[in-house]
Structure 1
């Protein structure tokens, strides 16, 4: 796998921390050009990482970096990010729609303004960022769009507790499946990726609680799977809803203990929308 992303340009949204940061650093280790796009351009008192700190890490890891302040709800901000990418690197080979919002509340309790935010940052952003990037992706010889959303699991237990959040994530997957067919003739791969277990991120700690962190894996497992997808031939891998562990096993990975965030032996927690 080493070197397969060398010289490729990858735009990662929500890249200032967590899974987005891990994908950026993993791609950088292979020599990629990485656009670190996120709202966090100044340090947060409670959350580590900014687009600038991750850009420094990307360069230290062996990649070229461009830090861009991006609000995925704002079409002008998206357009400026794509333009800056073209100016800095001359093109674009992959978009990773990683930026996301989460609120695990039932419909009766969730404020509509919070649902609007979930929809804008999850569903609408996928479409808006992908649309803006299409002209550059069409010029690539191996273009990919990868979004962090789950397989469609219609078991009632995933519908009742927090359907407003669920519907925005499932809508991302439906968009992906549709875009894969719409863009198939252009040779643009469009896939989703989702972790089998919970991932130790600030979002999990804030929304679910500290106790789950020790039963989670590190973001590195998602990053490794993402880079496998982005380096695959676009015409051979598209329209798929992929799970990180399953994909890595397909490529021969057997050591999953190295991804464990907590102590050995702790039972790992399955992520949302995963039954087994």
Structure 2
């Protein structure tokens, strides 16, 4: 696996053991990044991905922890910096979703979504803001449902609205640091998070929405993420970018 120099850029991908996160890890590794593969519950999947990358000649390390736990995340960031000498890119894909009409949603589910998606983003962004080197990038994850306003997504969309707001504020707070902060907002994407609990009719209906008439793939999302993380994408800053095949 090629590297761009003797001291390649270093990335940490939260939620890197599955779904979009795994595709991002693979994409950054192909670009020569040393990658911290973060996991919350699936250590085996993270270690398997690390093994895949190292077997191809790349560099990677698995780091665990609850994204909403500031001590666990500080330790994860410490581990990546200790392994690779610094940090240039943080991609925060970790998140959860609970679907239910607002009138019916259990408040425990609401609290769980906001603990992971809002507090978790704040904790990860705080660590990134303190550590990213000049020329670096932070990429958060929102959702294109922000524009679709689909029923049953209230708690999830509310949490991602907070993510978009944090992204825009942090981009401006990091003035003078030469660090970009952006959010990617995928549309319907064939990941376990999206497919879980949906029947085939629902999946087919959502896949037909984009003018391109298919679901996105994790690799589609990883391409945009890799661009934003790279020097080539460094003039893009303080943006929420919908990556959805043209739905909204």
Q: Give the Cα separation in 1 of the matches to 2:242 and 2:67.
A: 25
Q: 2 CA distance for matches of 1:27 and 1:210?
A: 32
Matched, 1:89 2:79: no
TM-score by length of 2: 0.86
Q: List runs of 5+ in structure 2 lacking aligned partners.
A: 208-213
Cα deviations across residues 98-145 of structure 1 (Å, max 9, x unaligned)? Answer: 0010112122211111111111111111110111232321xx231111
**What corresponds to 2:211 in structure 1?**
none
Alignment of 1:182 with 2:173, yes or no, is: yes
Q: How many Å separate the matches in 1 of 2:233 and 2:134?
A: 9
CA distance in structure 2 between the aligned counterparts of 1:136 and 1:63, rounded to whole angstroms = 23
Name the counterpart of 1:150. 143
1:64 to 56, 59, 67: 59
1:74 paired with 2:69, answer yes
* Distance apart, 1:66 and its partner CA: 0.7
Q: Is it true that 1:173 corresponds to 2:164 in the alignment?
A: yes
CA distance in 2, matches of 1:209, 1:12: 30
The 8 Å contact of residues 88 and 135 in structure 2, kept in 1 or not, is answered as yes
Q: TM-score, normalised by structure 1?
A: 0.78
Find the counterpart in structure 2 of residue 9 from structure 1: 10
How many Å separate the matches in 1 of 2:31 and 2:82?
A: 22
Contact 1:40 1:51 in 2 (8 A): no
State the partner residue of 2:154: 163
Distance 1:60 1:186, change over 3 A: same
The answer on whether the counterparts of 2:145 and 2:157 sit within 8 Å (CA) in structure 1 is: no
Q: Which residue of 2 aligns with 1:29?
A: 30
